[in-house]
């Protein structure tokens, strides 16, 4: 039998149990087996010890939206590299989007992801299936087959959900499985050739703009269809003040909608594009300070349910080109916590709210199909993240586990760092300063 691990003297924060206290936590046989206050020690004696003094100990982070690029784009990322990057970012469960080649629109490709994740992954990978066959937007994918193979949601991410009729069918049909339809809200007629947020800066830079309306039109359409069908809708990467308003009003009306926001849309503005940094090119684009304030307000009043990375790795060569030709996307796993902690240090979000949006809330959207996630409750899978809220560090993309070093944060100083990640009872990442003592 494998030895147990005691995480000692950390500040345990588990919003799912209303827990915020100094104490210890025992992991045995892949599960949380004991929680103790202060200096209490567990009844059994056979365990190693990880000293977590000065660290926050919380449920492992859950990312509802990432791109692992496998199969088809292994030069950008693989399940092996992507799950290691997730572990470095404190994520123990990640949900991968189906825009691979071939796409995850059938049982075989979903099974492929699951088996690769088991053999080569270090954290839990939950696949998201396509809405439409081949992501072409013409015909619904075999949603029943995808659901029974383990898809936790449906999305054609990268592309908006197909025409309104297909979206209506998808929302109606998905009710049978009680799984959400995740939409990348973009009216393509308004974004054609768009490079960045539309406004004064795009005009100055001579780059074609992507107006807020392109997102809001699709959010409004999807909300109307969710109301019509009673289906579960999840809005991916919300970026505008107008979208937040629409979602807030829809929730007041009882429409079944949840929404996410990314770390980059919460912390970076369109000004990052000045200088034509292709690593700041992302879709939907970085917006304005006013939008950021609306998104933070949305998190605080629960209009926005979760934070998801939209981790979108690309190779250096992909991004090393003229702005107009660069692909959209930011490699986000390894900087997520550090950048989000700036909102806590600035008192715009509480630590508990931040942790809730990364743990219990995404777990609620996923449901219980994969066991109790997002909690440190006794008996739950031992998915645990340890982080230092105050440690300052400089983002060095050379040490990224992700193959994608495409981040506008390279070289920046962040305050708050993941120090250890435990996935299903296994220590899958630890900072060099963390020592595990045998006893």
Considering the complex, what minimum distance in angstroms separates the CB of residue 77 from Zn ion? 13
Q: What are phi and psi of 77, to 5 degrees?
A: -170, 155
* Tokens coding 174: 């998905």
305 near Zn ion, rule: CB under 5 A: no
Q: Which one of the listed residues 310, 318, 383, 388 is annotated catalytic?
A: 310
The one segment of 164-172, 270-278, 304-312, 320-328 that binds Zn ion by CB under 5 A = 304-312
Supply the DSSP string of 85-143, one letter for each residue.
HHHHTTEEEEEE-S-SSS-S-SHHHHHHHHHHHHHH-SSEEEE-B-SBGGG-SSSB--H
Query: What torsion do the CA atoms of 61, 427, 437, 401 make, to the nearest 10 degrees?
Result: -90
Q: How far apart are the first and last CA of the chain?
A: 16
310 near Zn ion, rule: CB under 5 A: yes
311 near Zn ion, rule: CB under 5 A: no
Looking up tokens 């193979």 gives 149
Site string for Zn ion, 130-169 (x = CB under 5 A): ---------------------------x------------
Considering the complex, what minimum distance in angstroms separates the CB of residue 186 from Zn ion? 8
The one segment of 108-116, 253-261, 310-318, 335-343 that binds Zn ion by CB under 5 A = 310-318
What is the CB neighbour count within 10 angstroms for residue 434? 16
Considering the complex, what minimum distance in angstroms separates the CB of residue 330 from Zn ion? 10
- Report whether 404 contacts 312 (CB < 8 A): yes
Considering the complex, what minimum distance in angstroms separates the CB of residue 428 from Zn ion? 24
How distant, in Å, are the alpha carbons of 138, 213, 246, 350 from that of 243? 26, 9, 5, 23
- Which CB atom, from 32 or from 326, has the smaller least distance to Zn ion? 326
- Which CB atom, from 191 or from 353, has the smaller least distance to Zn ion? 191
- Which CB atom, from 124 or from 265, has the smaller least distance to Zn ion? 265
76 near Zn ion, rule: CB under 5 A: no
Distance CA 387, CA 14 (A): 14
184 near Zn ion, rule: CB under 5 A: yes
- Report whether 400 contacts 48 (CB < 8 A): no
Reply yes or no on whether 310 is catalytic: yes
Parallel/antiparallel/unpaired status of strands 47-51 and 436-437 = antiparallel
Site string for Zn ion, 340-379 (x = CB under 5 A): ----------------------------------------
* Count of residues interacting with Zn ion (CB under 5 A): 3
Supply the DSSP string of 365-397, one letter for each residue.
HH-STTSS-S---TTSB--EEEEEEEEEEE--G
The one segment of 48-56, 179-187, 227-235, 410-418 that binds Zn ion by CB under 5 A = 179-187
- Which CB atom, from 280 or from 382, has the smaller least distance to Zn ion? 280
Considering the complex, what minimum distance in angstroms separates the CB of residue 40 from Zn ion? 44
* Residue ranges in contact with Zn ion by CB under 5 A: 157, 184, 310
- Residue positions annotated with a catalytic role: 310
């Amino acid at each position: 039998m494998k030895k147990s691990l005691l995480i000692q003297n950390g500040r345990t924060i588990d919003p799912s149990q209303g827990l915020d206290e100094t104490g210890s936590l025992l992991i045995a046989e892949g599960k949380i087996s004991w929680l103790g206050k202060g200096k209490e020690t567990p009844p059994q004696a056979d365990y190693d010890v990880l000293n977590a003094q000065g660290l926050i100990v919380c449920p492992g982070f859950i990312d509802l939206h990432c791109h692992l690029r496998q199969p088809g784009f292994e030069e950008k990322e693989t399940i092996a590299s992507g799950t290691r990057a997730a572990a470095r970012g404190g994520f123990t469960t990640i949900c991968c989007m189906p825009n691979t080649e071939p796409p995850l629109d059938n049982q075989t490709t979903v099974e492929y992801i699951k088996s690769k994740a088991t053999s080569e992954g270090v954290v839990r990978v939950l696949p998201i299936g396509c809405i439409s066959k081949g992501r072409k937007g013409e015909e619904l994918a075999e949603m029943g087959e995808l659901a029974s193979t383990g898809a936790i949601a449906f999305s054609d991410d990268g592309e908006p959900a197909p025409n309104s009729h297909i979206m209506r069918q998808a929302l109606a049909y998905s009710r049978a499985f009680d799984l959400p339809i995740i939409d990348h809200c973009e009216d393509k007629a308004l974004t054609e050739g768009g490079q960045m947020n539309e406004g004064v800066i795009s005009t100055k830079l001579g780059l074609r703009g992507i107006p807020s309306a392109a997102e809001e039109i699709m959010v409004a359409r999807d909300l109307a269809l969710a109301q019509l069908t009673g289906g579960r809708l999840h809005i991916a990467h919300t970026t505008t003040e107008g979208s937040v308003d629409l979602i807030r009003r829809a929730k007041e009306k009882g429409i079944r909608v949840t929404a996410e926001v990314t770390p980059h849309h919460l912390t970076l503005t369109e000004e990052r594009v000045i200088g034509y940094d292709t690593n700041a090119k992302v879709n939907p684009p970085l917006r304005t300070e006013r939008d950021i304030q609306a998104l933070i307000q949305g998190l605080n009043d629960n209009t926005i349910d979760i934070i998801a990375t939209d981790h979108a790795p690309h190779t250096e060569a992909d991004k090393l080109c003229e702005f107009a030709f660069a692909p959209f996307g930011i490699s986000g796993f390894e900087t997520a916590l550090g950048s989000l902690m700036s909102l806590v240090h600035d008192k715009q979000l509480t630590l508990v709210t931040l942790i809730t949006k990364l743990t219990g809330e995404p777990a609620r959207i996923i449901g219980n199909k994969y066991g109790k996630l997002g909690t440190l409750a006794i008996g739950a899978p031992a998915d645990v993240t340890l982080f230092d809220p105050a440690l300052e560090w400089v983002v060095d993309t050379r040490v990224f586990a992700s193959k994608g070093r495409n981040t506008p944060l390279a070289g920046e100083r962040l305050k708050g760092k993941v120090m250890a990640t435990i996935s299903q009872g296994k220590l899958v990442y630890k900072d060099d300063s963390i020592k595990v003592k045998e006893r």
